[in-house]
Amino acid sequence: MPELWTYGLSDFLMFSPQVYWRLVARHNAQWWPAQLLALAAAAALPLLLRSPSLARRRMALVLLALAWAWLGWAFHWRHYAEIFLGAPWVAGACALEALLLAAAVGCRPTEGAGAPSPGVLSWALLAMALLYPLSAPLTGHPWAEAEVFGFMPDPTALATLGVLAALQPWPAWSRALLAVVPVLSLLLGAATRWLIAD
C-alpha cells in the first residue's frame, strides 16, 4: 500500500476534466437562455455604480445577492454536488454571501462620504466578469461550456469584488466581510482548474 506522502492533490480529485466540463455544459443547457438575462445584469452593474445615487448602488448589491443565491442553488447544490462532496458546503457559503449582500443594502454609508466613480480596479474586475464567457473559446472549449455571471462561480466572484471596490461610502469592514466568500471562491476555482489541468 502506498504511503500517504506519495499521493498528490490530483489523486484526491473526485472527477475528471471531462466529467466537470460535461456538468458545466449540462448546467448551461438546462437554464438556457437565462444566461442572456444574467449577462444583462452583469452589464448593468457598471452603469449602476457610475451613478452618484446610493439607491442605484444598493440595486447593484441586490443583483449580486440574487446572483449568489442562484449560483448556490442552481449550480453548487443541484449539479456540482453530484461530483464534489464539498459542493453543499460551498452552496451554504453562497447562501451566506447572498444574505450578507442583502443585509448590506440596508447598511448606512459612512457619514459625509460621497459616491465616487468606480476606480480602475473596479472597472477591470467588472470587465473581466462580463467578458469571462469568452474564455471558453479562447481555451478550446465550446460555447456550451462558457461560464457566465450568476451561473458560475468565477465571474460572479469577480463581479462582486468589482462592485465592492467601488462602494467607498460603505464601511471598509463591511466590504472586507463581503469579500471573504468571493475570494475563497476564486481560490477554490483556481485550485480546481489547476488540478483538472494536471
8-47 pLDDT per residue, tens: 445 556 788 899 999 999 999 999 999 999 999 999 999 9
Residue 26 in any domain: the answer is yes
Cell of 177: 466581510
Residue 188 in any domain: the answer is yes
Q: Which residue has the higher pLDDT, 45 or 3?
A: 45
Nearest to 182, CA basis, from 165, 196, 169? 165
* Cα–Cα distance, 59 to 143 (Å, whole number): 30
Residue 112 in any domain: the answer is yes
Residue 76 in any domain: the answer is yes
**Could you report the per-residue pLDDT of 106-150, keeping only the tens digit for each?**
887 765 455 556 789 999 999 999 999 999 999 999 999 999 999
Residue 4 in any domain: the answer is no
pTM: 0.90
> What percent of the chain shows pLDDT beyond 90?
71
- pLDDT at residue 117, rounded to an integer: 62
Contacts of 161-165 spanning 24+ positions with Cβ under 8 A: 161/125, 162/45, 162/118, 162/121, 162/122, 162/123, 162/124, 162/125, 162/126, 162/128, 162/129, 163/45, 163/49, 163/60, 163/61, 163/64, 163/122, 163/126, 165/118, 165/119, 165/121, 165/122, 165/125
* Cα–Cα distance, 174 to 5 (Å, whole number): 41
Residue 3 in any domain: the answer is no
Residue 6 in any domain: the answer is no
Range of the domain at 64: 15-197
Tell whether the model's pLDDT for residue 2 goes beyond 90. no
Specify the number of domains making up the chain: 1
* Cα–Cα distance, 133 to 168 (Å, whole number): 28
> What percent of the chain shows pLDDT beyond 70?
88
Residue 7 in any domain: the answer is no
- pLDDT at residue 46, rounded to an integer: 93
* Phi, psi (rounded to 5 degrees) for 152: -135, 155
